Amino acid sequence: MPYVNIQVTRENVSAPQKAELIAGVTELLQRVLGKDPALTHVVIDEIDPDNWGVGGLPALQYRQRGAR
């Protein structure tokens, strides 16, 4: 019964990329733990960069200091 929540910044993630994440995570849980894909739910949350902080700074400012 896995449930997986993937949070990424909202930056033009395409529908095919989302489908690839869903397929990849589901396959991983089936391979490593034998989980039934029909019971595996994946939810992708796209977060506005203003709303994500790391290093004490909003994401875009943090990246300008050298991280990606």
Q: How far is 66 from 4, CA to CA, in rounded Å? A: 30
Q: How far is the CB of 64 from a copy of itself (least distance, A)?
A: 14
- Is residue 2 flagged as an active site residue? yes
Six-digit token string for 42: 């994946």
Q: How far is the CB of 18 from a copy of itself (least distance, A)?
A: 5
Over the window 26 to 55, marking each residue x when it contacts a copy of itself by CB under 8 A and - when it does not, the resulting string is xxxx--xxxxxxxxxxxxxxxx--xxxxxx
Q: How far is 64 from 42, CA to CA, in rounded Å? A: 31
Q: Partners of 46 in the beta sheet?
A: 8
Residues contributing to the site for a copy of itself (CB under 8 A): 1-9, 13, 15, 17-29, 32-47, 50-59, 61, 67-68
